[in-house]
Amino acid sequence: MSKLSFSGHSPLTKTHKYSIAGIATLGAAALAFTLVPGNSTAEAETISAAPVAFEVAAGKPQIKDVHASVTNQMATADQQVKNAAAKLKATQVAATKRAADAAAAKAKVDAAAKAKVEKDRQVREAASRAAARKPVYANNLDGWIRESLDIMKAKGIPGSYNGLHRNIIRESSGNPQAINNWDINAINGIPSKGLLQVIPPTFSAYHVPGTSWNIYDPVANITAAANYAADKYGSMDNVNSAY
């Protein structure tokens, strides 16, 4: 067999080689088609070979698109997770703040209630101490004089137990309901009344605040009379007769 000679011709270029390979491929495909005439299955498989190859080749840019889509979806999902975490954290912070506010409000209410209880206790104790300090006066002449003397002392009205007692016995014999219906005052319509026989105008003018306005009240009668005597005579101790 003689060898083919390509002397005098330039060597095949890369383009020529690709063209020859393409022709060979087409020839093989045509030969395969010729060898199986009437065979629909083989025909379908042979015919579909080229489109499959095309789809695979054409799929390369689609893979890039899918990769980009997946990347975007992952980024979106990651952002959603971050947003959910931030929302959860904000909810927890708000819940913590509400709990702290509620605790502070409760503490304030409890403190106010505790303060009120303490204040009430102090008021009760103060009242109890005051009551304990307040003397208890007997409901008799001795008690009336002693109570009057304490009031007189607080108001700056002079007088002594003896001075009050002496004048009370002379004026009414110690009867707080005594009334003089025969002297000049009675004739003038303003009879003397009470332990120290005080006429109503004098009782009103020299009434001591804090005592009863009833002229027959023993303590009110004594303190008003003592106040009048202090103004006119310096003290009830200086009175030894009708005054």
Q: What is the pLDDT of residue 148?
A: 98
DSSP class of residue 211 equals S
**Distance between CA atoms of residues 93 and 80, nearest Å:** 20
CA distance 124 to 118: 10
Angle at which helix 141-155 crosses helix 161-172, to 10 degrees, equals 130
Whether 177 is covered by a domain: the verdict is yes
Q: Report pLDDT for 64.
A: 64
Residue 22 pLDDT: 45
Nearest residue to 224 via CA among 191, 199, 190, 188? 199
| Residue 180, in any domain of the structure | yes
pLDDT at 167: 97
Please provide the size of the chain in residues: 243
Q: Are residues 187 and 165 both part of a single domain?
A: yes
pLDDT value for 157: 98
What is the pLDDT, as a whole number, of residue 62?
60
Point out the domain boundary residue: 134, 166, 185. Answer: 134
Q: What is the pLDDT of residues 144-168, one digit of tens each?
A: 999 999 999 999 999 999 999 999 9
Spatial distance between the Cα atoms of 181 and 197, rounded to a whole number of angstroms? 11
Question: Is the Cα torsion angle 215, 219, 153, 225 positive or negative in sign?
Answer: positive
- CA distances 234 to 128, 146, 199, 202, 206, Å, are 38, 20, 19, 16, 14
Paired with 198 in beta bridges are 193
Q: Report the chain's C-alpha Rg in angstroms.
A: 64
13 within domain boundaries:
no
The stretches in the chain having pLDDT less than 70 are: 1-64, 66
Domain that holds residue 87: 68-134
Angle (CA) 211-213-216 rounded to 5° is 95
Tell me, yes or no, whether 79 and 117 share the same domain: yes
Domain with residue 202: its CATH number is 1.10.530.10
- pTM score: 0.50
User: CB–CB of 195/221 below 8 Å?
Assistant: yes
Residues 155 and 210: their CA atoms lie apart, in Å, by: 10
Task: Name the domain boundary from 134, 159, 191.
Answer: 134
Judge whether 127 lies within some domain: yes
Q: Identify the pLDDT of residue 96.
A: 93
Return the pLDDT at 68: 75
Same domain, 130 and 145: no
Residue 233 lies in a domain: yes
Round to whole Å and give the CA distance between 173 and 170: 6
In a domain, 85, yes or no: yes
Whether 206 and 146 share a structural domain = yes
